[in-house]
Amino acid sequence: MSRKWVNILRRGIVSMCIALMPWTVSAELESDLAEPMQSSIPPPKLKVSSWLLMDAATGLTLAGDRADTPVEPASLTKLMTAYIVFREIERGTIKKDDTVVVSEKAWRSEGSRMFIEAGDKVRIEDLLMGLIVQSGNDSAVALAEHVAGSEEGFADLMNQTAAELGMVNSHFVNSAGMPHPDHYTTARDVTLLTRAIIDQQPDHYAMYAIREFTWNDITQKNRNPLLGRDSSIDGVKTGHTRSAGYCLVGSAERDGMRLIGTVIGAQSDRERADAVYSLLRFGFAAYEHHDLYPAGQKVVESQVFKGAAQTVSLGLSEPIALVMAKGLGKKLKAGVALTDPVLAPVAGGQVLGTLTVTLNDDELLSRPLVALQDVEAGSWMTRLSDTVRLWFH
């Protein structure tokens, strides 16, 4: 099949999704949670092309509909642009105070703008404000050209980054989100990207909550209509084109639980805001997050024979966190099964038991318990004494 026909097919798929989906709802909604963990509270019915609600800490999908359907991302694209720029700042390849000479291409960008002029020397930090707060297409192009030399080169970097983040159904051809048949993503991929921003770039994430920014004597308000509606909401980004519809990613944190809600293809600015807000309210009402066991901390001690120490601390290599219907947490139980006997020498990381978590006597998960430190062999006297002890163990 020629590239021309591939592009026509992709354009048709995206257009069909935007045009038809707002009036239909899938028979079965998506969820990563096992049935015993799911809430009896139903998620809201949304007239959008696709949506997803995710627990940010675990990455688990609480609910979703057509989350892997390809769609035009519009200005949600700028989440990837910002992620890459912030990553380069953290790597030290660029600095916030570096100045960018605005190209004519950036100046001529159509759509939303921060109103930079060709030839202007603008700090990267100001361009980021224009990108995130004002959703400037001109700032997106200027940043892309500065980081990669050209917007085309930056698009290659965007696609490499998408692959690294597991965004398997995304492809980018520009930094601003201008419509193109080869420029697409999904509600799931956008949510994964947002989770990466929150998790990996917490110091920069605060910029998404800034309410307004002034450049060139022009003050523009943040286009995210959820900011100010609820004090727990602190991001993230809007998007809109005629073909993509109204899109919005929102995130909020309450009582140590952070949720990310994404809607694609709403019919209006108000509808996309109400849709994300209803998703977040549903998530906090229906679910609770439990950090059960951190990694590297003692869960239990095990007796050691023939060692320089008589006990060894056991813990987990990876943390255990669970999301479940509200109220189920008090029904969780944990049990351990230990290797017996444990003989020195013991190496840190050696598996010496199992931790099992159950809910109503149903096993939810099982994880290996590992030694948290080395235990060297004891003296000959200790080894001899413990040999005798083991006869009666």
CA distance 389 to 80: 62
CA distance 205 to 227: 14
CA distance 393 to 389: 6
For 370, phi then psi, to 5°, come to -120, 155
Catalytic site includes residue 306: no
257 Cβ contact list (under 8 Å, min separation 6): 55, 57, 284, 287, 288, 289
Strand partners, 288: 324
CA distance 364 to 34: 9
CA distance 161 to 176: 16
223-229 long-range contacts, CB within 8 A, separation 24+ = 223/112, 223/134, 223/135, 224/248, 224/250, 225/269, 225/270, 225/272, 225/273, 226/250, 226/273, 226/276, 226/277, 229/273, 229/277
Q: How many helices (H) and strands (E) does the chain have?
A: 10, 17
Q: What interhelical angle do 77-91 and 124-132 show, nearest 10?
A: 150
Check 49, 50, 78, 112 and give the catalytic one.
78
Peptide bond preceding 341: is omega within 30 degrees of 0, i.e. cis?
yes
Q: Which is it for the CA torsion 280, 284, 285, 286, positive or negative?
A: positive
Catalytic site includes residue 95: no
152 Cβ contact list (under 8 Å, min separation 6): none
HSE-up (13 A, CA, CB side) for residue 226? 29
Catalytic site includes residue 75: yes
User: CA angle at residue 165 from 323 to 150, to 5 degrees?
Assistant: 145
Strand partners, 302: 312
Check 39, 103, 109, 135 and give the catalytic one.
135
Check 50, 75, 109, 112 and give the catalytic one.
75
Could you tell me the CA-to-CA distances from 193 to 31, 188, 222 in Å, in that order?
19, 9, 20
DSSP class of 112:
S
Q: How far is CA 113 from the centre of its chain?
A: 27
* Residues with catalytic roles: 75, 78, 135
